[in-house]
Structure 1
């Protein structure tokens, strides 16, 4: 929002807003959109930088593939089949470069974010459904701007955070280690979710704002889980088959719709492993009209897609890489603000206890 001399924060992500002393005053993870933009004011009048977090709803990214004896010839069913007692480490990373122009000085920002989750299967049913615990084990953020500002936060660091990182740490602390209980069908449908008693007590005593606490509500947790799982196709698929998913959510920048097309490419060899490849193509758009911030946001150009790899024998994903290249135009009065976003998102699933992999899918 322009005040006549500078731009000030309009969206707060991860409590990165130096003008706010509310540790929980950041946007819930379930409301992050592929181009939520936060303007940060580091000193009065002229000094400001962008921080953009680009998070694709994982329900528009992930599917699973496993063969069934009852499948038609050449076809494979897409199903989860985690075992009772199985634990997975789920790693998500996001690398982003954003360039903005059109109003005021041109700015560029590089921002990396990573998150580590722990999945623990506590029970399975004859119909293939699973009960599991899920917790956030680690969060890490790093940002560099064209005007020399930088920020690093790692929840696993033993060194006390300083400056803006300390503000982030205070707001994000309730997220780390919180456990919630969920039931999921073999197609990835979340049928039940609730906080553990310990998580409910921790949330009550946490110095967090209403938005952060909303993340841990039953509805908030259900949507958060939908960002790392997917409802899979009901019927088996053959090489070349496609299926689609449409996801509509509310965002600070207006109604957001994501149309995802999946294409099954068959079995491929990745690092001496036979994996099922599924290609992904995405189209993202906003609703018409001004949003609550008075902005009219349009996607001027985009190319979004990637591939995912599934281990049919293990019944789970191994890795996925999704790349986004988008140009946004935000209209406020007579001012047009352009943002070019280039993002790479990676996801890895691995058995708990294995060392972190250094190899990355290309």
Structure 2
């Protein structure tokens, strides 16, 4: 029988690391599973063990804050002090046991900080983020220098914990995303939105404290705030030696999301396709990829290197295994209140999948 998923389950190579297929589980922040210390818990280890056993070729660890003030939530995982290294090493070991490179996403929430006093931006800015009004004050040059060093120190700790690479979180309206967006970053100094001096300093700093084989990726907005600027930013990142781009949305509240009327996929996939055409490094595509056939078509039609399955992987840890075996993998139901933020076991998508499996068994 001919394999319907020629692209989806093909092997490839990411900077010398073999990847068994084109399915990537993205950095998915898990709420309420830690505390103010930002430490790794046994529950989180079990979560990653389930994910890596689910058949994906790559699992990128969730957004991990480089400083206490940069947290998205007060219980977000952290990498801001040496005492967190041993706990993070436990996650890296889980990823390695699955024979995949261990990559951790480093973040600073910026305007989306957990407390009003944490909310900062390149320039003073007001917006609505996550349903709340935000008013971020503009950073001083000295404060920017401090945050640059926090990212560099975070990458160094990641390497010490055994990770093979980091992904910088420069989308979703987080701080690095804000610096890349000229509608938000209105600075006239070296830290303006075109020169991207902050990102350059962070990338160069990470290269100084990690070995040459260390993977360095960036999750960026393809529309930041428009596609033309996003493509320019992607080309700039490639020129800086970035090893892969995870193309997603940026600061959604200022984004100009456009795609051709007859385009078969959503605007986020279109953005990733356009970025892929503009650069030679690997590009990942993400957002509402519901089933294996759609994932296969995206890979075939857009030439991106990986499809990112986020919500589907939360509904079903074994999404990739089930698709490869021809089983229905379930799907996210896009609930108004995502139960993963409350109690994952009460996820309606998971419950529907359980009932579907039970019905198949009875028949």
- Under TM normalisation by the shorter chain, which class is it? under 0.3
Given the two structures, how large is their TM-score scaled by the length of structure 1? 0.28
Instruction: Say which structure is richer in strand.
Output: 1
Higher RCO (CA < 8 A, seq sep 6+) = 1
Question: Could you say which structure has the larger radius of gyration?
Answer: 1
Is the helix fraction higher in 1 or 2?
Answer: 2
